[in-house]
Amino acid sequence: MKSSLRIGSIAGIDISVHISLIAVLFLFSYALYVTPYPYGFSNLPYSQLIRISLSILASISLFISVLFHELSHSITGKRRGVEVKGIVLFIFGGVSMLDRIPEEPKKEIEIAFSGPLFSIAVGVVFYALYLLQVSILSEFSRVFAMYNFFLAFFNLIPAFPLDGGRILRGFLSKRIGFIKATKISAEIGKLIAFVMGLFGLFVNPWLILIAFFIYMGANEEEKLVMVENVLKRVKVIDIMSSSPITVSPDTSVKEVLQLMLKTKHLGYPVVDRDKIVGIVTLRDITNVDEDVPVGEVMRKDVITIAPLASAFDAFKIMNEKGVGRLPVVYEDRVVGIVSKTDLMRTLEILGIQESFKEVQKLAKTG
């Protein structure tokens, strides 16, 4: 993600911060400063400087606590064999980037529950500190405990993609399977988001923003699961364009440009004696002298895919590496090329069949 800064890694998990978070830290510090105790520090009998410091400290502590909430998800995931790419902290908290959604209900429930459990634990510890009644420490602890409890309970709302929605999906998938469970939890998530947004119109505009975030998240994850479900069943070899146009390292930039104009393709595998040695795209030859041979400007770190890989693997690689076309390579030889357009077409064709099947199934059972 471009709009986020990597700040380090814990337990082998990359941690990034979305730039919006800096604004959120300021806003939240301000909110704590103007809100009365026990939700903030405005009416406490301390000097202004101390109240400002308390607000900033609580705001930063909460940020760290959100980070550890997310780390709980990631570490629980890792322990259960789910690849974790990293954590991005952003405006509404954090997002753990699990490489894939665990389809085993038990794993999903445990991973989803670990975050709120951590927040509750932090809340309990700080509430205990509050009970010790050591003046300023006690007041800070109470406010901090409150927000950790809030974080836990908010995340437990069964609105997909919040943790609660994931727990719900876990329970549902035990009975009706992962795909249907995703659909139903996403629909419930959207419904809750809608009600929350409506409620927000009259109560608090922040709720509208949060509802919007839940709605979009539910929608996106539902789509992703459907895409995965459809593309997993298709092999690259069945959707690729076979006998693709290739160029050799001696082909000049001028010839490649002419080829692009003619074929409207923006990238070609570079092949030397039947073996793939690189890839050349429009970006590589922009502002390059026309007579330069392609071998000098091509990219040698070619990302390829095997013909028997699933179309979903191709989809994932394209998304991760930000490329639109992948040479399909079998024993170093280019046997085809698969593009985003091929994937979209497949989705369109199979996606339509899929909904058709669903409708037929419903008609039979209903």
Q: What residues act catalytically?
A: 70
Q: Please report, as residue ranges, which positions from 138 to 177 form the binding site for Zn ion (by CB under 5 A).
A: 155, 163
Candidate ranges 112-120, 131-139, 300-308, 310-318; the one touching Zn ion (CB under 5 A)? 112-120
Token pair 């950790």 is found at 148
Q: Please report, as residue ranges, which positions from 37 to 56 form the binding site for Zn ion (by CB under 5 A).
A: none
Longest CA–CA span in the chain (Å) reads 81
Pull the structure tokens for residue 62.
């909460």
Pull the structure tokens for residue 221.
């994850």
Task: State in angstroms the smallest separation of the CB of 163 from Zn ion.
Answer: 4
Count Cβ atoms below 10 Å from residue 285 Cβ, excluding itself: 20
Cβ distance to Zn ion smaller for residue 110 or 163: 163
Task: State in angstroms the smallest separation of the CB of 93 from Zn ion.
Answer: 7
Pull the structure tokens for residue 102.
């665990």
Task: State in angstroms the smallest separation of the CB of 178 from Zn ion.
Answer: 20
Pull the structure tokens for residue 330.
């079998």
Task: State in angstroms the smallest separation of the CB of 157 from Zn ion.
Answer: 11
Which residue lies nearest Zn ion, judged by its C-beta?
115
Task: State in angstroms the smallest separation of the CB of 51 from Zn ion.
Answer: 30
Cβ distance to Zn ion smaller for residue 151 or 338: 151
Pull the structure tokens for residue 21.
């978070």
Q: Contact, 163 vs 156, CB < 8 A?
A: yes
Q: Contact, 154 vs 201, CB < 8 A?
A: no
Task: State in angstroms the smallest separation of the CB of 115 from Zn ion.
Answer: 3
Cβ distance to Zn ion smaller for residue 64 or 245: 64
**What number of chain residues touch Zn ion (CB under 5 A)?**
3
User: Please, is 202 exposed, middle or buried when counting C-beta atoms within 10 Å of its C-beta (0-12, 13-18, 19+)?
Assistant: exposed
Contact between 110 and Zn ion by CB under 5 A: the answer reads no
Candidate ranges 76-84, 111-119, 139-147, 238-246; the one touching Zn ion (CB under 5 A)? 111-119
Task: State in angstroms the smallest separation of the CB of 71 from Zn ion.
Answer: 10
Round to whole Å and give the CA distance between 97 and 355.
29
Q: Please report, as residue ranges, which positions from 264 to 323 form the binding site for Zn ion (by CB under 5 A).
A: none
Residues 6+ apart with CB under 8 A from 118: 68, 69, 72
Task: State in angstroms the smallest separation of the CB of 119 from Zn ion.
Answer: 8
Contact between 115 and Zn ion by CB under 5 A: the answer reads yes
For residue 328, what are the β-bridge partners?
305, 336
Cβ distance to Zn ion smaller for residue 155 or 173: 155
Pairing of strands 325-330, 333-339: antiparallel
Pull the structure tokens for residue 297.
């400007």
Residue ranges in the chain assigned as alpha helix (H): 20-34, 48-79, 105-131, 135-155, 163-176, 178-202, 205-231, 236-239, 253-263, 282-285, 294-297, 311-321, 340-365
Cβ distance to Zn ion smaller for residue 108 or 139: 108
Cβ distance to Zn ion smaller for residue 89 or 146: 89
Length of the chain: 366
Pull the structure tokens for residue 157.
């709302």
Round to whole Å and give the CA distance between 353 and 357.
6
Q: Contact, 42 vs 36, CB < 8 A?
A: yes
Cβ distance to Zn ion smaller for residue 30 or 153: 153
Cβ distance to Zn ion smaller for residue 192 or 305: 192
Q: Please report, as residue ranges, which positions from 239 to 258 form the binding site for Zn ion (by CB under 5 A).
A: none
- The residues binding Zn ion (CB under 5 A) are 115, 155, 163
